[in-house]
Amino acid sequence: AAAGQMQPSNPTRRHFTIDDFEIGRPLGKGKFGNVYLARLKKNHFIVALKVLFKSQLEKAGLEHQLRREVEIQAHLQHPNILRLYNYFHDARRIYLILEYAPRGELYNFLQKSGPLDEQRTATIMEELADALTYCHKKKVIHRDIKPENLLLGLMGEVKIADFGWSVHAPSLRRQTMCGTLDYLSPEIVEGRMYDEKVDLWCVGVLCYELLVGKPPFESASQSETQRRILKVDVTFPPSMPVGAQDLVSKLLRFQPSERLPLAQILVHPWVKAHSRRVLPPCAQKAS
Ligand code: AMP
pLDDT tens, position by position, for the chain (287 residues)?
Answer: 456 666 655 555 568 999 999 999 999 987 788 999 999 999 999 999 999 999 998 998 888 888 988 999 999 999 999 999 999 999 999 999 999 999 999 999 999 999 999 999 999 999 999 999 999 999 999 988 999 999 999 999 999 998 766 665 544 443 444 568 999 999 999 999 999 999 999 999 999 999 999 999 999 999 999 999 999 999 999 999 999 999 999 999 999 999 999 999 999 999 999 999 988 776 655 44
Same domain, 29 and 170: no
144 is catalytic: yes
Query: From atom 19 of ligand 1, which residue's Cα is the shortest distance away?
Result: 100
Q: How many domains does the chain have?
A: 2
Q: How far is the CA of 180 from the centre of ligand 1 (A)?
A: 19
Establish whether residue 28 lines the binding site of ligand 1, counting it when its CB lies within 6 angstroms of any ligand atom: yes
Domain stop point among 98, 114, 148: 98
Same domain, 173 and 218: yes
Whole-model pTM: value is 0.91
Establish whether residue 21 lines the binding site of ligand 1, counting it when its CB lies within 6 angstroms of any ligand atom: no
Phi/psi-derived region of residue 156, left when phi > 0, alpha when psi is between -120 and 50, beta in every other case: left
Same domain, 31 and 83: yes
CA distances to 3, 50, 55, 87, 143 from 31, in Å? 27, 11, 12, 18, 20
Q: In this structure, is the dihedral angle defined by the CA atoms of residues 135, 137, 138 and 144, taken in order, positive or negative?
A: positive
Domain assignment of residue 175, given as a range: 106-276
Percent of the chain topping pLDDT 90: 77
Establish whether residue 69 lines the binding site of ligand 1, counting it when its CB lies within 6 angstroms of any ligand atom: no
Q: In this structure, is the dihedral angle defined by the CA atoms of residues 149, 280, 210 and 145, taken in order, positive or negative?
A: negative
Same domain, 86 and 150: no
Same domain, 140 and 262: yes
Same domain, 271 and 238: yes
Yes or no: say if 180 and 146 are a contact pair by the CB < 8 Å rule: yes
